[in-house]
Amino acid sequence: MKGIYLLLLLLMQACTSSAQTFDGVWKGSLDIQGQQLPLVFELIKTGDKWEGFMQSPAQSNAKFPISTVSIKGDSIAIRVNAIGLAYNGVRKSNIIDGHFKQGAFEAEMKLHKAEDKESNKVLVRTQEVLPPYDYDTIDVKIKNSYDNIELAGTLTYPSKKGKYPAVLLLTGSGPQNRDEELFGHKPFKVLADYLTRHGIVVLRVDDRGVGQSTGDFSNSTIENFSKDAISAFDYLKKLPQVDKAKVGIIGHSEGGLIAELLAGQHLPDLAFIVSLAGPSFSIDQLMVEQLYAVGKASGMTEQDLIKARTINTRNFAIVKSDLNTQDAYQQLLQNMSMANIGNSNKQMERELLTMLAPAYRYFMRIEPERYIAQIKVPVFAAFGTLDVQVPSTQNLKSLYNLLPKNSKTVLKEYKGLNHLFQKATTGQVSEYMDIQETMNPQVMTDVAEWINGL
């Protein structure tokens, strides 16, 4: 999920594109085994100096500053040091034909110049939260002494003096800011607003290396993100307006996974967790189910889905294994060859090497089951029936089977909601941008009432 930016969601994204001079907005997509991940580069020339931003809109609205832009004739080289990204290309007519590299992952990628009307498209968001607020809000800085970094965030709390329940919000995969921005949506700002207006203190923070938080995102793992969560939680529980006996964590997607891991390890003073679409069974198996759900939503035939499931099951088992990189790579090649895909495609070979990157293999080896079985605090877990990233049926079943009995625990499935808990049609990521709803009100109501009722 989060530790390998641009890798976990590579197989579930959609893209739109359009090209000409180097200044302006350029859009392209990485083709990963037939699926697309959109990327956007905004290039700005001021005098003789080039600058700009890079964005992966399907994962986050976070804009990463472009470190360098080098142009020689029709050739361009772009570097985004914050996430270890490099793009080199040559302008040909109305496109830039180039090569993308981030860590071990490499791929060919064309960039097209976005038309003005496309770049300036107005996104309607019906739940936008604007000041003045009905509560107090302050910006905070939190020290993570484990990794010697500083996390920046926003604290919201009821204006009336008193002690209140409190929650830390943990974002999903990809580098996210404190609002968990995505396609103009700000789910965490909307959720924090609702919860705070209903008597709950809320802390939300920028991921390390994002926004005002320091640190290196691209080379971090769930272990690092868990240390960030622990540091923020320790800060929250010591605040004067917080009831120390009622402090919990709300995590979305990978954030829900981290909440489960911390609860299973009995994080001191953790009173409850809320997992919103948090994975609850082995990540390698989850990825197989995830790709099946994505393929089904995209219209793949049942025959092709079964074939893909077999290939993916073998591939992820190899990635999860203790085989050294070379032996694992050879087994991946053999598996793809047995599937009649062949092993001569250079693009495919790069993708297989990406799957063997240390951070990716670390993530594939996570088994939430053994932590979930040790959770002693109440759990509120929610899933949408149209979620293609963390499918509801299998994850709910795992929680029902593994969670120790607790009269206060609630496991709930929401009909027609996607991974972001929006009312959706198919659940595909390509719908996120066009849906006006940011987070379904019923989900927020249920979460707030459950916390206040503990």
Q: What secondary structure does DSSP assign to 80-129, as a single string?
A: EGGGTEEEEEEEETTEEEEEEEETTEEEEEEEEEPPHHHHTPPPP-TT--
Q: pLDDT digit string (tens) for 149-193?
A: 999 999 999 999 999 999 999 999 878 899 998 878 999 999 999
Q: pLDDT digit string (tens) for 55-94?
A: 877 665 567 888 899 888 889 999 988 778 899 999 887 7
pLDDT band at 19 (very low <50, low <70, confident <90, very high): very low
Q: What's the Cα-to-Cα distance from 443 to each of 265, 343, 411, 412, rounded to whole Å?
A: 27, 46, 12, 10
Whole-number pLDDT of residue 23 = 83
User: How far apart are alpha carbons 59 and 62 in whole angstroms?
Assistant: 9
Q: pLDDT digit string (tens) for 162-172?
A: 999 999 999 99
User: How far apart are alpha carbons 20 and 93 in whole angstroms?
Assistant: 7
User: How far apart are alpha carbons 12 and 391 in whole angstroms?
Assistant: 13
Q: Pick from 19, 26, 28: which is nearest to 94 by CA?
A: 19
Whole-number pLDDT of residue 233 = 98
136-144, strands of its sheet edge to edge? 136-144, 149-157, 201-205, 164-170, 242-252, 272-276, 379-384, 410-414
Adjacent-strand bridge partners of 29? 38
Cβ proximity of 333 and 352 under 8 Å = yes
Q: Which CATH class is domain 24-119?
A: mainly beta
Adjacent-strand bridge partners of 106? 101
Percent of the chain surpassing pLDDT 70: 88
Structure tokens at 253: 């997607």
Cβ proximity of 249 and 337 under 8 Å = no
User: How far apart are alpha carbons 173 and 179 in whole angstroms?
Assistant: 13
Whole-number pLDDT of residue 93 = 72
Q: pLDDT digit string (tens) for 341-375?
A: 544 456 677 777 878 888 888 889 999 999 999 99
Whole-number pLDDT of residue 30 = 82
Q: What are phi and psi of 369, to 5 degrees?
A: -55, -45
Q: Is the pLDDT of residue 281 over 80?
A: yes
Q: Which fold has domain 136-281+367-453?
A: Rossmann fold (3.40.50)
Whole-number pLDDT of residue 12 = 30
Cβ proximity of 212 and 152 under 8 Å = yes
User: How far apart are alpha carbons 55 and 80 in whole angstroms?
Assistant: 10
Per-residue pLDDT, averaged over 36-50, amounts to 83
Q: Pick from 235, 271, 224, 221: which is nearest to 153 by CA?
A: 235
Instruction: State CA 200 to chain mean position distance.
Output: 25
Q: Is the pLDDT of residue 21 over 90?
A: no
Gyration radius (Cα) of the chain, Å: 22
Cβ count within 10 A of residue 111: 27
Instruction: Look at strands 24-32 and 105-113 and give their pairing.
Output: antiparallel
The pTM of this model reads 0.78
Q: Which of 261-265, 326-330, 369-373 has the lowest mean pLDDT?
A: 326-330
Whole-number pLDDT of residue 433 = 79
Cβ proximity of 296 and 305 under 8 Å = yes
Q: How many CA atoms lie within 13 A of 98 on its CB side?
A: 22
Per-residue pLDDT, averaged over 22-44, amounts to 79
Q: Which of 14-28, 48-62, 227-241 has the lowest mean pLDDT?
A: 14-28
Per-residue pLDDT, averaged over 314-325, amounts to 93
User: How far apart are alpha carbons 155 and 205 in whole angstroms?
Assistant: 9
Using CB atoms within 10 A of its CB, is residue 196 exposed (0-12), middle (13-18) or buried (19+)?
buried
User: How far apart are alpha carbons 38 and 285 in whole angstroms?
Assistant: 26
pLDDT band at 340 (very low <50, low <70, confident <90, very high): low
User: How far apart are alpha carbons 180 and 252 in whole angstroms?
Assistant: 9
Structure tokens at 218: 């691209």
Q: pLDDT digit string (tens) for 97-134?
A: 999 988 767 888 999 887 644 444 567 899 999 999 99
Cβ proximity of 356 and 104 under 8 Å = yes
User: How far apart are alpha carbons 54 and 57 in whole angstroms?
Assistant: 9
Where, residue-wise, is CATH 3.40.50.1820 in the chain?
A: 136-281+367-453
Using CB atoms within 10 A of its CB, is residue 323 exposed (0-12), middle (13-18) or buried (19+)?
middle
Whole-number pLDDT of residue 250 = 98
Q: What are phi and psi of 178, to 5 degrees?
A: -60, -25
Q: Pick from 141, 293, 348: which is nearest to 232 by CA?
A: 141
Q: pLDDT digit string (tens) for 407-433?
A: 999 999 999 999 999 999 999 887 887
Where, residue-wise, is CATH 2.40.128.120 in the chain?
A: 24-119
Q: How far apart are the first and last CA of the chain?
A: 30
What is the largest distance, in Å, between two alpha-carbon atoms of the chain? 68
Length of the chain: 454
Secondary element (H or E) of residue 91? strand 85-92
